[in-house]
Amino acid sequence: MKKSEIQQRLQENHHRFIKQIMDLPEADFLKSTNGKWTAGQQLDHLVKAVNPVNLALLLPGFLLKIVFGKANRASRSYDALVEKYQSKLAAGGKASAPFIPKPVAVGDREKLSKRLHALTASMVHRINSFSEAQLDTFILPHPLLGKLTFREMLYFTIYHAEHHEKQVLKNLENQPV
């Protein structure tokens, strides 16, 4: 996937997730089935997950290489990255402490939605400062997936919004997630 498609899909998936959250009645926004995260907590989790990726896109290349190193393999495809993430989840993988959401009140919905929208817009803009080659050279650590190239981290960020959109729907349908 080229930069332009990555940018488009980041915007689409996060916009769709935010719309879903904003359209929920208050009771559904606060609903938790079987101890799973509420829609508000799903929103807070995405804000916590997108923020460090957005910040990493601010760092200059030389610093990225010093802090995280550089890729020693080609980037996986979008589908391969999603498959790896799903297999980690199926094996019991869960969010690590910094990404676990706090309880979220209905009154925080708009603020968190605006924050996620702003972070996504910023990330989409910052991608322009990287070449296609740099997206496959620079790496970032992912708490569940290990070292990912920037391209893979962006793929993950695209899919992550979709994943949590599905989690919200499953919670509302009283299905195990």
Q: Residue 144 and residue 116: Cα distance in Å, rounded? A: 22
Q: What is the pLDDT of residues 4-16, one digit of tens each?
A: 999 999 999 999 9
What contacts 127, CB < 8 A, 6 or more positions away?
3, 6, 7, 57, 135, 154
* Predicted structure pTM score: 0.94
Secondary-structure breakdown of the chain: helix, strand, coil percentages, each rounded to the nearest 5: 70, 5, 25
Beta bridge partners of 148: 140
pLDDT value at position 177? 44
Q: Residue 14 and residue 157: Cα distance in Å, rounded? A: 9
Q: Which domains does the chain have, with CATH numbers?
A: 3-172 (1.20.120.450)
pLDDT band for 176, please (50, 70, 90 cuts).
very low
Q: What is the DSSP letter of 141?
A: E
Q: What is the pLDDT of residues 31-58, one digit of tens each?
A: 998 888 999 999 999 999 999 999 999 9
Q: What is the pLDDT of residues 60-86, one digit of tens each?
A: 989 999 999 999 999 999 999 999 999
Tokens of 122: 């910023």
In which residue are the tokens 């968190």 written?
112
H/E element, 146: strand 146-149
